[in-house]
Amino acid sequence: MMPLDKNVYKALEGIVGPEHISDDPAILDSYAWTTRVQNMEIRDGEVRLNKFARRFEAVLLPADTLEVQAIVKLCNRKQIKIRTFSTGFIAGNVPSGERVILLDLRRMNRIIEIDEQNMLAVVEPYVIGAQLQAELMKRGLIANVTGAGSHTSALPLAAFWGTGHMGQTVSNGERNLLAVEWVTPEGETVRIGSLGAIGEYFCGDGPGFSLRGVLRGAITPMGGMGIYTKAATKVYHWPGPTEFPIEGTSPNYAPSAIPENFMIRYFSFSTKERLQEAICKIGEAEIAFELMGFPVSMMAANIATGNEEEVRLLADLRKAVKGPGFVVIIVGNSRREFEYKKKVLERIVDETEGRSLEMIEDERVGGALLWRLIRITASIRETFRATGEHTGIFPGHSELGPIYRLTSRIADLKQDLIAKGLLLDDGAEPFPWTEEHGSMAHAEVLIRYRSSPQTLQGIQWLNEESIRLCLEEPAGVPFFVRGDRLHGIFGPSASNYHVWLRRLKKAFDPNGVCDPLDYISPEEGQNS
């Protein structure tokens, strides 16, 4: 790592203040640790796994749009690259090379506005899902919270792709984005949609051509196209209480009672075809507030408060279910509507020969699960807790049939690695769900593991095989596609979108200020 020129450091310090910039190696190393192994080293005949990425030259904490704008303009003049992160849950803390600084947006943490009449909320990047959701519930509203957890950013552009547990009711990140304040890679502040026209946030498009598709598609540019300092998201009607009556202490939080006109159940089915049939019928009937195709391994991880309890519970749940299943939450705006939805659900489950999991019918267990699924507070339990490390295969949006078929094929390959003892044995089931009552679907294959050279080689093999399968199945461009290599693989199968993506990058970032590592480079082969 080459330290920043003292004059450059002084100029950056003049923008944010001396207390909000650092090149202290201890500080830089705290930002360099990642959840994924960066490289393997052999020393003295031993293989060592390094989870630290390359250090940034400095870390800055800007306070507002003006400071962000000034930093970006200075970096254009001094030929310095920028990486940006908000809550940092995805790997936004990995620079592509030398002369890269990191902007940590944690000081930009305000809810700017909640417009109840027009049903939107305006937030800065470090507002988290739990923070916004709590304020919305007080007003009878709710918003999408990304499935990574309520500790992640509520800004619809900061979430990597923005799918969440409540997608049946509140859709996903790309569909909820309204007006945006954007500091471009050249340091200009652009306000798109109605914000630029009349200073209000209710629309992300026009007048004239729209820039929303430049800012994001199904996934975000991961810092590769400037910095989003404010954004508006759609919000939706919340039929529940303004505050949940939560009791207990961590990790045993639970509502004292399930709210009126709320119900949670877990149904299992004899085959994947029966499961898919039930999901589609529930979508057509538009009765679900939330539906997630959790396998029992995820249910056990969500409910259990520790690894030993999870192992015991998983064994019990495997005996109690017929096969693959889903968890569903039904909510009514009135008693009459609630009873109607329950009857429809009962008929669908009867027609598809589903079985209810008795444990979830227990109000204490079901109520706690209900709370965690609405607040999205158990994602860490479901991913990192068992082994400390986690990855996954994340296809994109498609219809339920193709996406479920694709992830089932990937899960079969995962089972091969489980049989070799390389991954945690969780049954290798994918978990599918639909959004907007079945108008689109998503599914994932989660992987929990402990790092070793053999495990990492196995996961790399699984990744490469998954790429091949994603190209074979008509399930769209996967969410895991980022960086030059993967865009180059998938672009030709999707109207050569990578050619246009590269042209946009070159046009909006002529000086290459925004690090393209997780987006796309302006020149082919530059960052493969």
DSSP codes of every residue in 388-429 = SEEEEE----B-HHHHHHHHHHHHHHHHHHHHTTSS--S---
The verdict on whether omega for the bond into residue 474 sits within 30 degrees of 0, i.e. cis, is no
In Å, how far are 185, 346, 514 from 6, measured between CA atoms?
23, 69, 22
| CATH code, 111-237 | 3.30.465.10
Q: How many residues does the structure list for the chain?
A: 528
State the pLDDT confidence band at 17, using cuts at 50, 70 and 90.
Answer: very high
The DSSP code sequence of 332-399 is -SSHHHHHHHHHHHHHHHHHTT-EE-HHHHSHHHHHHHHHHHHHT--HHHHHTTTTSEEEEE----B-
Contact yes or no for 50/94 (Cβ under 8 A): no
Higher pLDDT, 373 or 173: 373
Name which of 125, 130, 127, 126 is nearest 145 in CA terms: 130
Q: Is the pLDDT of residue 26 over 90?
A: yes
HSE, side-chain direction, 13 A CA sphere, residue 232? 25
Q: What is the pLDDT of residue 188?
A: 98
Cα–Cα–Cα angle for 421, 425, 427, nearest 5°? 135
What's the CA gap between 343 and 352, in Å, rounded? Answer: 14
Average pLDDT over residues 409-419: 97
Q: What is the 3-state secondary structure (H, E, C) of 273-330?
A: HHHHHHHHHHHHHCCEEEEECCCHHHHHHHHCCCHHHHHHHHHHHHHHCCCCEEEEEE
Q: What is the pLDDT of residue 403?
A: 95
Mean pLDDT for the stretch of residues 488-496: 94
Average of pLDDT values for 217-224? 84
How confident is the model over 59-104, as pLDDT tens digits?
999 999 999 999 999 999 999 999 998 887 666 678 889 999 999 9
Q: Considering the chain, what percentage of its residues have pLDDT values greater than 90?
A: 75
Give yes or no for a contact between 484 and 521, defined as CB atoms under 8 angstroms apart. yes
The whole-number pLDDT of residue 23 equals 96
Fold classification of 387-480 is: Alpha-Beta Plaits (3.30.70)
Burial (Cβ within 10 Å: 0-12, 13-18, ≥19) of residue 408: middle
- Residues 249-271 have pLDDT tens digits of 888 888 999 999 999 999 999 99
Distance CA 429, CA 275 (A): 13
Q: Whole-prediction pTM value?
A: 0.94
- Give the pLDDT confidence score for residue 53 in this predicted structure: 86
Angle at 167 between CA 289 and CA 183, to 5 degrees: 140
pLDDT at 115 over 80: yes
State the chain's mean pLDDT as an integer: 92
Q: Note the pLDDT tens digit of each residue in 153-190.
A: 998 887 777 888 999 999 988 899 999 999 999 999 99
In this predicted structure, what is the pLDDT of residue 452? 86
Q: Taking 90 as the threshold, does the pLDDT of residue 219 lie above it?
A: no
Specify the higher pLDDT residue, 438 or 330.
Answer: 330
Domain ranges of the chain: 6-104, 111-237, 251-381, 387-480
The CATH architecture to which 251-381 belongs is 2-Layer Sandwich (3.30)
What does the pLDDT look like over 444-482, one tens digit per residue?
999 999 888 889 889 999 999 999 999 999 898 998 898
Residue 2 has what pLDDT? 66
Closest CA to 329 of 97, 169, 141: 169
pLDDT exceeds cutoff 70 at 41:
no
Q: Residue 51 pLDDT more than 90? A: no
- Check residue 91 and give its pLDDT: 62
Host H or E run for residue 48: strand 46-50
Beta strand 81-85 with 100-104 is: parallel
Query: What's the rounded mean pLDDT across residues 105-127?
Result: 97
Q: Do 251-381 and 387-480 have matching folds?
A: yes
Weakest-pLDDT range from 15-19, 74-78, 195-199, 413-417: 195-199
Give the helix, strand, coil percentages of the chain, each rounded to 5.
Answer: 40, 20, 40
Asked whether 436 and 282 are in contact (CB, 8 A), the reply is: no
Question: Which fold does the domain 6-104 belong to in CATH?
Answer: 3.30.43
